[in-house]
Amino acid sequence: MKNLKRITNLMKNLKIRSQMKMKNRKIRLQFLVKSLGIPLLFLWTNMKIL
């Protein structure tokens, strides 16, 4: 009985950890897009003007 509880807790922790990893990856992706997207947009608008 005790072991079952421990196993379910471990599973829960793993699930939470994997969800956190996914969230972090999404946030990192958004950050990359923002940091790369702004200069690219700036360059693109300059090209349009020229």
pLDDT digits (tens, 9 = 90+) for 19-43: 999 999 999 989 988 888 888 888 8
Hey, where are the domains in the chain? 1-50
What local confidence, expressed as pLDDT, does residue 34 receive? Answer: 86
CA distance 16 to 1: 23
The pLDDT tens digits for 9-22 are 999 999 999 999 99
pTM tops 0.75, yes or no: no
What local confidence, expressed as pLDDT, does residue 35 receive? Answer: 87
> DSSP characters for 1-50?
-HHHHHHHHHHHHHHHHHHHHHHHHHHHHHHHHHHHHHHHHHHHHHHHH-
What local confidence, expressed as pLDDT, does residue 50 receive? Answer: 66
DSSP state of 50: -
